[in-house]
Amino acid sequence: MTTIAVTTWSLEQTAPTDLLPAAPPEGDVRVVRSEVPSPEFSRFLYASVGGDIRWTDRLGWTYARWLEYLDRPDVETWVAYDRGTPAGYVELEAQDDGVVEIVYFGLIPAFRGRRVGGHLLSYGTARAWDLAERRPDRKPTRRVWLHTCSKDGAHAMDNYLRRGFRLFDTKVEDEPEAPTPGPWPGAHPA
């Protein structure tokens, strides 16, 4: 089995003022919370956004596992739509003591390079900071964090840094080299 070295970077913001929002893209781009837990829709987003960058950890999840995960009040999914078509998403998970993780963030390949990513990341990060307004049982957010890796899109790290995230940890590990699953073979641009 062939392995590849994968670098994982962990980044954080520790105050709402750390967020440096991107300008909204031109056109009809909206970000809407997906409030009804839908394993089908969430798996579609996960496979469509992560297929060409080898997101594989959730591909084996059953319908019941997806529903169990999504049906928790600590998980929020925010979806960017470009003229009514899903373009990408950001998944938030509230953790203990006012910490919110951006668990997944990304765009469907056809929507990359259209200035949607900076806007979606800005919007999702702002929702992480104001999560306690929607969840009065939670402590106010004091930290928003995420991780990205060398398998993610070429502009991912730059986008995080431009939005005001700061690096706090770096790890390098060998991982088995997996084929690009894609939402289906040949779905992403070559």
Averaged over successive runs of 10 residues, the pLDDT of the chain (190 residues) comes to 89 98 94 97 95 86 96 97 97 96 96 94 98 93 95 88 97 80 54
Question: Is 181 domain-assigned?
Answer: no
Q: Which pLDDT score is estimated for 186?
A: 52
Q: Which pLDDT score is estimated for 151?
A: 84
Which CATH number fits the domain that encloses residue 41?
3.40.630.30
Question: Is 104 domain-assigned?
Answer: yes
Angle between helix 39-50 and helix 63-70 axes, rounded to 10 deg: 100
Q: Which pLDDT score is estimated for 1?
A: 73
Q: Which pLDDT score is estimated for 184?
A: 54
From CA 70, how far away is CA 76, in angstroms rounded? 8
Question: Is 133 domain-assigned?
Answer: yes
How many domains would you assign to the chain? Answer: 1
User: Where in the sequence is the domain holding 105, given as residue range(s)?
Assistant: 3-176
Question: Is 189 domain-assigned?
Answer: no
Question: Is 186 domain-assigned?
Answer: no
Question: Is 92 domain-assigned?
Answer: yes
Question: Is 183 domain-assigned?
Answer: no
Q: Which pLDDT score is estimated for 177?
A: 76
Give me the residue label for tokens 């049982």.
137
Question: Is 41 domain-assigned?
Answer: yes
Q: Which pLDDT score is estimated for 176?
A: 80
List the one residue out of 57, 55, 53 whose CA is nearest residue 65. 57
Tokens at residue 168, please? 């706090």
